[in-house]
C-alpha cells in the first residue's frame, strides 16, 4: 500500500472591507508612506470594524468560502484546527465556536497558538492527523484580528499589522503529493522582544495595566528583524539541502508576510528568482496566522499539480520553521 501523505485540496479566504492606507496612518502617527514602503513593503491593510465581531467572524467567512468553492459538506469534516494569536476570548476555544457555526457538527476542534508561526505549525499538526490514517478531512484555518491588540498611537507596530483569515483543507493522498518534510523550531529567548505583557496569568488585567497600555503588542522590531532574517533563511536553506532541492526545483516560496526585506533575504539565501516569491504584503500587511493561507488563496490559479513549494514563517516566542509541500491540484 502506498504511504499516506497529507495534501492541501482546497483553499478559502476572507478579508474585511475597511482599508487602512499608509496615507491615513500618516495622520495618526509620525510616519510617512515612503518610510513604510521602503522599510516594510506595506501600502495598506484591512481592518475588521464591525462592532462586537472577533476573529471567529473572519474565520467563519474564510471557511464558508472554502466549503462553497470545494462543494464540501461540513458534516464530512473530522477536525478543525484554528490557528490564531487573537482568540475571541481568553477562555472558550474559538475553533470550537467556528466549527459549530459552519456546520462541522461531526468534527472536534481546538486552537493552536504560536504567534506568526501558528499556521505553519498548524500545517504540521493537520498533516500528522491525516498521515496517521485516523482522519480524512482536516480543516486548518488561520485568522487574526490584530487590530484588537494594536495601539494606533504606536508607530512601531500600527504600520505593520492587519486583519484577515484563510483556510485550507488537508486530505490523504497516495500519489506522493502534499507535505514532504518540515523543520519546526522555537526559542523562549524571544518572549522579551515580541509580547503582550498583561492580561495573562503573570499580570492579570487591572486599571494599572490598561493605563500603561500593557494589553497592546510590544515589539522590539530591530531585534525581531535580526532573528527573523537569519531564522527563516536558515531553515529554508536547510530544508532544500535535506531534500536535494536546487533553486531550479522549487516553484514557489510561500513565506510569512511580516516585512518584505525578511522575505527577500530568505529568497536570496535560497537563490530563488523573484518571480517564484509570492508576495501580497502590500495589500494586507502582517495578518499573523492568516498570511500563508491568504497567499495560497490570492495565487491559487497559478499553482499547478506537482509544484514544489517551500513554506516559511517566523514569529513571536520565538517560533519559526519551513515546510516542503508538493501542490496537489491545478485549478
| Active site positions, annotated | 116, 256, 286
User: Looking at 192-289, which runs of residues are DSSP E strands?
Assistant: 194-195, 218-219, 252-255
CB nearer ligand UT7, residue 99 or residue 322: 322
CB nearer ligand UT7, residue 293 or residue 316: 316
**Beta carbon of residue 174, minimum distance to ligand UT7 (angstroms, whole number):** 36
Long-range CB pairs of 36-40 (<8 Å, 24+ gap) are: 36/159, 39/259, 39/261, 40/159, 40/160, 40/259, 40/260, 40/261, 40/281, 40/285
211: left (phi over 0), alpha (psi -120 to 50) or beta: alpha
Query: What one-character-per-residue DSSP string does 37-51 give?
Result: HHHH---EEEE---T
**Beta carbon of residue 189, minimum distance to ligand UT7 (angstroms, whole number):** 14
Q: Which residue has the cell 501523505?
A: 5
185's enclosing H/E stretch is: strand 178-186
CB nearer ligand UT7, residue 63 or residue 254: 254
**Beta carbon of residue 68, minimum distance to ligand UT7 (angstroms, whole number):** 30
CB nearer ligand UT7, residue 105 or residue 153: 153
**CA 276 to each of CA 20, 151, 248, 254: distance values in angstroms, whole numbers, following the listed order:** 28, 35, 10, 9
**Beta carbon of residue 210, minimum distance to ligand UT7 (angstroms, whole number):** 24
Q: Return the closest-CA partner of residue 136 out of 71, 63, 78.
A: 78
Residue 127, classified by CB atoms within 10 Å of its CB into exposed (0-12), middle (13-18) or buried (19+), is buried
**Beta carbon of residue 25, minimum distance to ligand UT7 (angstroms, whole number):** 8
Q: Which residues would be at the binding site for ligand UT7 (CB under 6 A)?
A: 31, 35, 39-40, 116, 155-156, 159, 221-222, 224-225, 228, 258-259, 262, 286, 314-316
CB nearer ligand UT7, residue 5 or residue 55: 55
Task: Count CB-CB contacts under 10 A for residue 274.
Answer: 10
> Hey, what's the cell of 114?
504560536
Amino acid at each position: 500500500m502506498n504511504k499516506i501523505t497529507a495534501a492541501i485540496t482546497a483553499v478559502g479566504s476572507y478579508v474585511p472591507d475597511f482599508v487602512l492606507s499608509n496615507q491615513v496612518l500618516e495622520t495618526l502617527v509620525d510616519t510617512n508612506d515612503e518610510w513604510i514602503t521602503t522599510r516594510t513593503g506595506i501600502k495598506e491593510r484591512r481592518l475588521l470594524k464591525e462592532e462586537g465581531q472577533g476573529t471567529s467572524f473572519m474565520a467563519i467567512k474564510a471557511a464558508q468560502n472554502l466549503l462553497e468553492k470545494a462543494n464540501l459538506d461540513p458534516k464530512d469534516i473530522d477536525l478543525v484546527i484554528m490557528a490564531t494569536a487573537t482568540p475571541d476570548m481568553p477562555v472558550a476555544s474559538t475553533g470550537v465556536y467556528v466549527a459549530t457555526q459552519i456546520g462541522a457538527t461531526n468534527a472536534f476542534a481546538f486552537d493552536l497558538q504560536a504567534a506568526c508561526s501558528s499556521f505553519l505549525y498548524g500545517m504540521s499538526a493537520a498533516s500528522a492527523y491525516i498521515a496517521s490514517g485516523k482522519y480524512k478531512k482536516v480543516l486548518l484555518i488561520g485568522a487574526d484580528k490584530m487590530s484588537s491588540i494594536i495601539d494606533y498611537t504606536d508607530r512601531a507596530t500600527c504600520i505593520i499589522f492587519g486583519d484577515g483569515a484563510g483556510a485550507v483543507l488537508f486530505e490523504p493522498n497516495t500519489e506522493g503529493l502534499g507535505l514532504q518534510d518540515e523543520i519546526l523550531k522555537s526559542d523562549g529567548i524571544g518572549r522579551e522582544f515580541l509580547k503582550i505583557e498583561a492580561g495573562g496569568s503573570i499580570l492579570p488585567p487591572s486599571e494599572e495595566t490598561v493605563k500603561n497600555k500593557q494589553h497592546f503588542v510590544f515589539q522590539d522590531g530591530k531585534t525581531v528583524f535580526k532573528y527573523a532574517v537569519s531564522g527563516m533563511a536558515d531553515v529554508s536553506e536547510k530544508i532544500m539541502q535535506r531534500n536535494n532541492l536546487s533553486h531550479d526545483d522549487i516553484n514557489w516560496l510561500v513565506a510569512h508576510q511580516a516585512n518584505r526585506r525578511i522575505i527577500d533575504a530568505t529568497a536570496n539565501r535560497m537563490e530563488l528568482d523573484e518571480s517564484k516569491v509570492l508576495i501580497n504584503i502590500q495589500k494586507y500587511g502582517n495578518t499573523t496566522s492568516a498570511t500563508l493561507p491568504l497567499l495560497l488563496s490570492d495565487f491559487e490559479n497559478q499553482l499547478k499539480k506537482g509544484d514544489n513549494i517551500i513554506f516559511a514563517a517566523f514569529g513571536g516566542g520565538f517560533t519559526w520553521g519551513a515546510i516542503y509541500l508538493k501542490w496537489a491540484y491545478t485549478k
